[in-house]
Amino acid sequence: MYQRLPEAPGLVNGSHVVLGLAMLPLGLVYAAACTLGGRWRLYFPWLGAGRCGGRDLAAPAGGASGQRRRRLFATIEGLLLLAFLAAAASGAVWFVAQGGDTAVLWRGLHGIAARSFAVLMLLHIVAVSLHLLDLVRD
């Protein structure tokens, strides 16, 4: 699968391609659902910092740590969403470009996006675990 999908790709490679191509429209619909109507601020809080004037960063010491943690968790979620879309899009472009000169470039970009997605997914799992610990403590 370096530059072209083999004639008989096998179960693993074939499933990877089919499921990966199905993830692009699903990811776009999910991204739209997450970001429309001003909800993009939940996933990309650093983009909305100008609108709130940085009030959450200037909060008293007791409340600031909770707000910073929520912003960090939201940032991880937003970056995870972007990495998911990047992996799906780069994989789709790689599939379309197979056999061409740019296929190897898109393969490399797809690998970077997929690894980024995996690392961010691990961070997301850690953040969810920490959030659940906070709920249990309260």
Cβ proximity of 34 and 43 under 8 Å: yes
pLDDT of residue 44: 85
What span, in angstroms and rounded, lies between the C-alpha atoms of 20 and 71?
30
What span, in angstroms and rounded, lies between the C-alpha atoms of 18 and 13?
9
The reply to whether the predicted model has a pTM over 0.75 is: yes
Task: For 62-97, write each residue's pLDDT tens digit.
Answer: 455 677 888 888 889 999 999 999 999 999 999 888
State the amino acid at position 70 in one-letter form: R
Cβ proximity of 4 and 99 under 8 Å: yes
Residue ranges in the chain modelled with pLDDT below 70: 1-6, 49-65
pLDDT of residue 4: 61
pLDDT of residue 71: 84
